[in-house]
Amino acid sequence: MTAANGADTTVVVLGSSSGVPTATRGNAAQVLRRLGKTYLVDCGEPVTQALLRAGIDPLGLTAVFLTHLHIDHLGGLPQLVQTLQIRGRTQPLPVYLPAEGLTPLAAFLEMVYLSPDLLPFPLRLIGNGPGELYADGVVRVLAHRNDHLQALRGRAGDVAVKHPGWALESRSLVVEAGEERIVFSGDLRGPEELTPLLAEATALVCELVHFAPAALYPILERGPRLRDVILTHFHPNVEGRAEEIMAEARRRLPEGARVHWAADGLAVPLAGAVASQLPLMV
């Protein structure tokens, strides 16, 4: 990897809160920018405002990928679609989501008057399972099933019985971008689910809400090529522990690897370039 290559690939954290927003953190959303294209991973509210605050024009979005259907990961999508409608987007926008959500999401958008008949652009809702989701010559996106939503089984009875329409689909994403291989954890049941994804990974964007940081540390040792780890989606009990957690994470990573504690607007150019906090408009 070279710094020049890294300058072509940047991760921007748009929302870093856990299941509820805070005064300073919105819900889960990240952007990957590479070679003039912009890919949105998760769409928690207020993602449209967060894009604008980060200096990213929503009209320029290339594709959207949802890791799962919890509201803190997709609640901003209807407003994003309405913004693109009002601003007159004409280019198609593909939105990749777990297949179980395809029909309900289309019905919801219909209910809030975002029918395909009223949109000036083709909104392509694409339901899929694990495997390759997308490739355009700039990035290739692969989905790997995880067990985050399986924790719902047995809660107040077996949801598979009470809700036969729930497939409980959740996934982590691997994005191949030039020399970079970026893992977006999505939400996990436990960090060990990342192990098969880290062998070739150069960057990891990882949640810290569904397990203790101590459970993540040994997993990081299984990423021999990791150069950047971005910690985000914080449980309230880790706030105030940034230096402690980052120091221990660095100890487990290859020499020179960087650990970033996300804030909304954090921009991380990959491959050793300098991270920055994008200025937020007030």
Give which of 87, 127, 83 is closest to 103, Cα–Cα.
Answer: 127
- How far apart (Å, rounded) are the C-alpha atoms in residues 74 and 90? 22
Task: Point out the residues that are catalytic.
Answer: 72
CA 212/CA 161 separation, integer angstroms:
31
- In whole angstroms, give the CA distance from residue 130 to residue 133: 8
Hey, which residues does 29 pair with through a beta bridge? 15
With beta carbons less than 8 A apart as the criterion, state whether 28 and 50 touch.
Answer: no
Which amino acid is present at 34? R
Q: Which of 233, 205, 231 is nearest to 44 (CA)?
A: 233
